[in-house]
Amino acid sequence: MLNNNQSVIDYKMQTTFTTSDIAEDIYQLITKLYPICRSITGNGFRETLKIIQQYIPLSIQQVPTGTEVFDWIVPKEWNIKEAYIKNSQGKKIVDFANSNLHIVNYSIPVHQKLSLQELKAHLFTLADYPNWIPYRTSYYQETWGFCLSHNQYLELKDEEYEVFIDSSLEPGHLSYGEYYIPGDSTDEVLISCHACHPSLCNDNLSGIAIATFIAKYLSQTTPRYSYRFLWIPGTIGSITWLALNETKVNNIKHGLVLSCLGDSGNFTYKKSRIGDAEIDKVAAYVLRNSKRNCEIIDFLPYGYDERQYCSPGFNLAVGCLMRSPHGTFPEYHTSADDLNFVQPQYLAESFLQCNSMLYILNNNKIYYNKNSKCEPQLGKRGIYRAAGGHKDSELNEMAILWVLNLSDGHHSLLDIAERAGMSFDVIKYAADTLLTHDLLISEKPK
């Protein structure tokens, strides 16, 4: 259970906020974005980016149709105004205006009359969940279709139907949003999310909104690393960005893909292809110390855009953070992934887990003990008195001893915390104290 008075930990921060504040803010952004019909290109995607611009000054990049991006080509731009199926009495029995999931995403324009048998070849339902509308796409095959509940499907009569889809598929642009926050170092942390699904809250909007608020609050700080945020269409978006930004890729040292972060499931972290990268260790440490069940899974070349960032030609240290992974909950890619399925408290908890990971990443430094031959005398420096030998003291004596012993240029503060069985904050506080007393140094002593 979250504490409504809990404040987010800073990054040299000037700002704090409570979990109840961030829970409501994230949920309200999802509510605002929910009605928009998004796809991998088009006006719905750009409208989504323009709403995010109300929170952070991200730049919107436009890549023309036909641009070659490695083995792929940027597709035609798709937009839609209206779509419906009318029965023989002229009544709309399926209407895009009621749910943007009713249309197969990327359907070509059509206006014709069909028999029931002809129409069925273009209809998609979920027999196991007869009240839900499935989400289907046809990005790279020019066809059309409608999605409807199975109960609606069963009510169809053997008569003639009018099908109308007012869409366009023509040369245009692939759009994506990018926001860069300079830090003390040009080394970067990448935060990426896919923003191409229509009204799906957990798979899509949760990652979009959490990334937006992480960016908003990081922008008020000067972090150690620089941060690059991407709101991109799935698969083709990350491929396009990588193809057009190869000169920037070497700066990316750590990264997270965010998705499915608004449901009540336990957290899941999918490791990078590297497997033991610093982000993998940090994510595992945070989740395993969160007093919740979690699952840490190995990389596999299937899923979200981490599989592009982790392709062998790049092999970036990018993992994927989720709650219930894609495809493991029945609401996935259906109309049931709605505003009731995601909840503010789970969104806030996910935000805080992300924040904890970035906090540790930001502060996970390696030091050298300047007095490596035997322990330095702590008493004459007042450190022992500050620690006091008490378990409830803010400065923990054992933490000081662990930091001194393992600050050999080979162990990070996270390594020390795990070896000592202590929290990262306790170890960091001990290291900060030793730094102020000139007992640690960030470069190897001469």
What's the pLDDT tens digit per position in 303-335?
A: 999 999 999 999 999 999 999 999 999 999 999
% pLDDT > 70, the chain: 93
pLDDT over 60 (residue 2): no
- For residue 333, say whether it is annotated as part of any ligand binding site: yes
- Written as one letter, the residue type at 183 is G
- For the whole model, what pTM was predicted? 0.93
Strand partners for 177:
60, 231
pLDDT tens digits along 56-85: 999 999 999 999 999 999 999 999 999 999
Q: What is the pLDDT of residue 380?
A: 85
Confidence of residue 16 (pLDDT cuts 50, 70, 90): low
Dist CA 103 CA 143 (whole Å): 11
- For residue 203, say whether it is annotated as part of any ligand binding site: yes
pLDDT over 80 (residue 393): no
pLDDT tens digits along 271-300: 999 999 999 999 999 999 988 899 999 999
Confidence of residue 427 (pLDDT cuts 50, 70, 90): very high
Q: Which domains, from first to last, does the chain contain?
A: 19-74+173-363 (3.40.630.10), 78-170 (3.50.30.90), 366-441 (1.10.10.10)
- Write down the residue that tokens 């942390």 correspond to: 189
Q: What is the pLDDT of residue 17?
A: 60
pLDDT tens digits along 135-177: 999 999 999 999 999 999 999 999 999 999 999 999 999 999 9
For 54, what's the count of Cα atoms within 13 Å in the CB-facing half-sphere? 10
Dist CA 208 CA 51 (whole Å): 11
pLDDT tens digits along 80-95: 999 999 999 999 999 9
Q: Is 107 within 8 Å of 145 (Cβ atoms)?
A: yes
